[in-house]
Amino acid sequence: MGASRSHGLDEQFPIRLDRPNNPRSLDGELVVGNALRTVTLANPNLVVNLLPGVQPEVFREYLQLRTRRLRSLTIQLGRTDDNRCEKQDAPGHESATHPHDATPVGGYWADIGRQVPMAGDTTLMAHSMSNTITAVAVLQLVGAGTVTLNAPLSQYVDGSPYGPAVTVGQVLSHTAGIPNPIPLRWVHATAGHSTFDEAAALEAILRAHPRLAAEPGHRFAYSNIGYWLLGRVVERASREPFTSYVTAHVLRPLGIDPRDMGYMIIDPGRHATGYLEKYSLLNLAKGFLVDRALIGEYAGRWLEVRAHYLNGPAFGGLVGTARGFAIFLQDQLRPRSALFGDVTRRLLYQRAHTQNGRSIPMTFAWHVRERDGAPYYFKEGGGGGFHSMMRLYPAAGRATVLMTNATAFDVGRAMDTLDSAFVRTERLGR
């Protein structure tokens, strides 16, 4: 994106538009209240920065975007030169409007204590939203013939306690019956990351949870352990460390900058601090659920969660910006993906079934729901201090992603609000 331009569309609704350097090939209309401005874009992509002076419920009612060729919309909080931001004292978010109840995100801070606003290059923890990228890596290897979906997981993972009946495909679709204990303590501080032993951490979890929770293939049951083990599948089949494989074969082909997505916090100064709400059940139970070493200080009604990494990158270790995930989503909306051929791509969206043929709301990479009679695909991620979701609407040619640094923020409700206008507008524009 090029330099930002500030438009006083209405004193009550200040909006800043990030525009490309050569905005000539696409026309669209941005309507805010009774004020209208026409914007032109070089690519089918628009980023709207909602300044802190905008009331979320007002913005939700008045913002309409109409264009025929627009493929993705990113709405994120920007910084302002006045002191309105200072009056807010709560975490922020990237890439969505607010939900109907704006209380969980009453302010727009990446770090409340240091008074750092959320910005487009602020990185956040993606948690289980990472699983879709893990599934992409596995399916790439399926396409290359080095992984077989019906093969036993134990063929690729030495020491798996779950037996030969569990297959790679079942693990991908969460039908393997692998247990799913609460994973909030499966993290470690950034200071100890260079010496952290992931293999030992995984072995300890497998020793503590060696029995299946259900018969393989018989029902859908989410499992973080399963996706942690898929990282081992990638390593065995590719003969590369999991994070190296994803970087080289998923992120780099998409042109995603390491500062926008990866498995490291590259710049701590632009990484958001995660927060728990002071008056919440999670905060009350934090001593049992969260490593005490990661608990920071209170900032008003928010409790800081210190910077950390997940013990298993494959089940939730991605660090990134909404922009980084948007690039992946844009690839999935194109007629041809840069990541794999059509046959493998179809596997990514093929509805999964149990062994008795019952359809489940899951593919090998996504959860599935319907909107207006058409399926859409989504992945949510949440953990200590962060909550995120991305959605893909292939029939409408649309995708949305929302990342927040507040565990309690209702990302599903927020995206329902955003997408109700975003997807409907696309249909009107056709």
User: Rounded CA gap, 108 and 97, in Å?
Assistant: 12
pLDDT tens digits, one per residue of 135-148 = 999 999 999 999 99
203 and 352 co-located in one domain: yes
Q: Give pLDDT, residue 265.
A: 98
> Interior CA angle at 180 toward 175 and 184, to 5°?
140
136 and 254 co-located in one domain: yes
201 and 91 co-located in one domain: no
In a domain, 289, yes or no: no
Q: What is the mean pLDDT of residues 200-222?
A: 97
Q: Give pLDDT, residue 77.
A: 34
User: Rounded CA gap, 234 and 252, in Å?
Assistant: 17
Number of domains, the chain:
2
In a domain, 384, yes or no: no
In a domain, 154, yes or no: yes
Contacts of 219 (CB under 8 A, 6+ apart): 175, 177, 354
Q: Give pLDDT, residue 24.
A: 33
Most confident listed range (134-143, 269-278, 400-409): 134-143
In a domain, 377, yes or no: no
Q: Which of 80-89, 96-105, 404-413 is predicted with the least confidence, judged by mean pLDDT?
A: 96-105
50 and 101 co-located in one domain: yes
206 and 351 co-located in one domain: yes
> What rounded mean pLDDT belongs to the chain?
78
Q: What is the mean pLDDT of residues 309-323?
A: 95
Residue 175 exposure: Cα atoms within 13 Å on the Cβ side: 26
134 and 112 co-located in one domain: no
Tell me which residue range forms the domain holding 56. 4-118+409-429
pLDDT above 90: residue 269: yes
Q: Give pLDDT, residue 224.
A: 97
Q: What is the mean pLDDT of residues 351-371?
A: 94
Q: Give pLDDT, residue 420.
A: 76
Most confident listed range (17-21, 52-56, 338-342): 338-342
- Boundary of a domain, candidates 365, 380, 398: 365
Q: Give pLDDT, residue 184.
A: 85
114 and 131 co-located in one domain: no
Which residues does residue 101 pair with via DSSP β-bridges, in sequence order? none
In a domain, 200, yes or no: yes
In a domain, 286, yes or no: no
Of 328 and 47, the one with more pLDDT: 328
pLDDT above 50: residue 383: yes
217 and 351 co-located in one domain: yes
Of 239 and 88, the one with more pLDDT: 239
pLDDT band at 428 (very low <50, low <70, confident <90, very high): very low
Q: Give pLDDT, residue 282.
A: 67
Q: Give pLDDT, residue 70.
A: 37
In a domain, 404, yes or no: no
pLDDT above 50: residue 68: no
User: Rounded CA gap, 340 and 141, in Å?
Assistant: 10
46 and 108 co-located in one domain: yes
Which CATH number is 136's domain given?
3.40.710.10
Most confident listed range (51-55, 165-169, 285-289): 165-169
* Residue carrying the six token digits 């609704």: 13
107 and 134 co-located in one domain: no
189 and 327 co-located in one domain: yes
In a domain, 336, yes or no: yes
Q: What is the mean pLDDT of residues 375-386?
A: 94
pLDDT tens digits, one per residue of 103-113 = 223 236 889 88
- Boundary of a domain, candidates 365, 382, 399: 365
Of 123 and 57, the one with more pLDDT: 123
> Interior CA angle at 143 toward 241 and 392, to 5°?
90
Q: Which amino acid type is present at position 147? A: V
200 and 108 co-located in one domain: no
pLDDT band at 407 (very low <50, low <70, confident <90, very high): confident
Q: Give pLDDT, residue 87.
A: 38
Q: What's the predicted TM-score (pTM) here?
A: 0.79
Q: What is the mean pLDDT of residues 191-209?
A: 97
